[in-house]
């Protein structure tokens, strides 16, 4: 039978009816030298007393129902903890053991008192008592001297039929038991929270103390190590003499002079390389400028030649046109066309500068190619 959460809290306050499961007598507790082997286990760590009793009851009922041989023993392991670390003692272990004793179950305590090995088929099962039912009956007495119509009219608004679904309200002891279970659960939760906060505080305190101790130990070890190193260095280092100090100073001066000489030589080499690089860059720049000037002069000369050739072509075309016009004029006037006469007329009429620029074949009145 599975009990509800509220019922398990006021389990000890209800009048219970026990139905025995086993008719055989209780077996003696087995010794710890030969403990039985459990087939299942349940861990009740971290639960309150009410929750642990409820879970244990459900677990025992399920194991007993699922077992194929209910007549034989069925051992299960119930882990409760010894309660050694709790400031309130073994509360959970005592509650579970009280439930096992009240149900008259066969069990064997473990060696470390951290749990029980229980026979799930032993003991008795608690059942909830029968719920009280409403026995109220509504009766009416009919007066024979009155008529049916008058009675109906008289009781129409006063008497009503009882409801068909009459439900029983919870009894006062049930309400009180529920309230006490809720209050006990609240108090237990507050206690558990207080225990948890206290454990956290103690843990933080222990951690801080251990950290401080570790830091102090490390500081002491560091101091001792430094002291030992200084003592060993003082023992290993001999006291220097005056001659050794003078030789050391001379060696330092010589090394400084050599370093200074090397640095100067390196500086001179860097200056020479820099001057060479600058001179090379100046020569390259001059060569580039010279090349650019040559290219510019070539371009100017080519452009002048092109301009002169185009001007010559224009002058040549104009001279040919003028020679043609003169030839036509002389033909119209009947003037003989000789090379010498035409040349004289052209030299007489044309400008001397243009005539000097004329080609030789035009001067001789030859047709141009």
Domain boundaries, the chain: 5-127, 266-363
Q: Say if residues 26 and 106 touch (Cβ distance below 8 Å).
A: yes
Calpha distance 231→97 (Å, rounded) = 68
Strands 75-79 and 40-43: parallel
Global pTM reads 0.30
DSSP 39: S
> What pLDDT is stored for residue 282 in this prediction?
83
Distances (CA, A) of 52 to 94, 102, 133, 191: 11, 15, 32, 16
> What pLDDT is stored for residue 323 in this prediction?
57
> What pLDDT is stored for residue 150 in this prediction?
60
319-325 long-range contacts, CB within 8 A, separation 24+: 319/354, 319/358, 319/362, 320/362, 320/368, 322/346, 322/350, 323/362, 323/365
Sign of the alpha-carbon dihedral angle for 27, 33, 37, 42: positive
Q: Say if residues 122 and 20 touch (Cβ distance below 8 Å).
A: no
Mean pLDDT by groups of 10 residues along the chain of 369 residues: 48 42 40 71 88 89 78 84 74 89 90 86 79 69 55 53 52 81 89 90 87 87 88 71 80 89 90 87 83 82 73 73 59 46 46 56 51
Strands 124-127 and 107-109: unpaired
The pair of three-digit structure tokens given for residue 362, joined into one six-digit string: 């035009």
Q: How many CB atoms lie within 10 A of CB 199?
A: 13
Q: How many CB atoms lie within 10 A of CB 107?
A: 22
DSSP 14: S
Return all residues near 234 (Cβ < 8 A) that are at least 6 apart: none
> What pLDDT is stored for residue 101 in this prediction?
92
> What pLDDT is stored for residue 368 in this prediction?
44
Return all residues near 115 (Cβ < 8 A) that are at least 6 apart: 77, 78, 79, 80, 81, 109
CATH number of 5-127: 3.30.1370.110
Q: What angle is formed at CA 72 by the lines to CA 69 and CA 77, rounded to 5 degrees? A: 100
> What pLDDT is stored for residue 319 in this prediction?
72
């Amino acid at each position: 039978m599975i009990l509800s959460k509220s019922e398990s809290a006021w389990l000890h306050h209800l009048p219970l009816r026990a139905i025995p499961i086993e008719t055989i007598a209780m077996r003696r507790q087995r010794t710890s030298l030969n403990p039985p082997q459990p087939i299942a286990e349940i861990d009740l760590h971290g639960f309150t007393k009410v929750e642990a009793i409820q879970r244990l009851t459900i677990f025992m009922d399920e194991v007993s129902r699922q077992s194929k041989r209910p007549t034989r023993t069925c051992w299960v392991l119930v882990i409760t903890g010894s309660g050694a670390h709790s400031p309130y003692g073994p509360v959970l272990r005592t509650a579970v053991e009280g439930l096992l004793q009240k149900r008259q179950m066969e069990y064997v305590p473990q060696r470390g008192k951290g749990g029980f090995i229980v026979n799930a088929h032993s003991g008795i099962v608690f059942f909830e008592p029968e719920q009280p039912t409403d026995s109220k009956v509504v009766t009416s007495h009919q007066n024979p001297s009155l008529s049916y119509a008058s009675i109906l009219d008289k009781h129409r608004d006063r008497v009503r039929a009882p409801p068909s679904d009459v439900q029983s309200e919870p009894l006062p002891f049930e309400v009180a038991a529920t309230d006490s279970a809720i209050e006990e659960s609240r108090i237990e939760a507050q206690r558990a929270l207080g225990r948890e906060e206290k454990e956290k505080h103690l843990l933080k305190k222990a951690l801080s103390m251990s950290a401080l101790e570790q830091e102090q130990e490390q500081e002491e070890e560091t101091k001792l190590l430094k002291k030992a190193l200084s003592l060993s260095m003082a023992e290993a280092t001999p006291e220097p003499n005056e001659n050794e100090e003078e030789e050391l100073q001379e060696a330092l001066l010589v090394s400084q002079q050599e370093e200074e000489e090397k640095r100067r030589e390196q500086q001179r080499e860097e200056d020479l390389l820099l001057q060479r690089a600058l001179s090379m860059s100046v020569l390259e720049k001059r060569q580039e400028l010279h090349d650019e000037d040559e290219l510019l002069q070539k371009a100017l000369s080519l452009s002048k030649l092109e301009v002169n050739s185009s001007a010559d072509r224009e002058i040549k075309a104009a001279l040919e046109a003028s020679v043609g016009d003169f030839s036509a004029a002389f033909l119209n006037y009947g003037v003989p066309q000789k090379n010498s006469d035409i040349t004289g007329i052209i030299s007489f009429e044309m400008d001397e500068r243009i005539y000097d620029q004329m080609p030789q074949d035009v001067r001789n009145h030859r047709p141009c190619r």
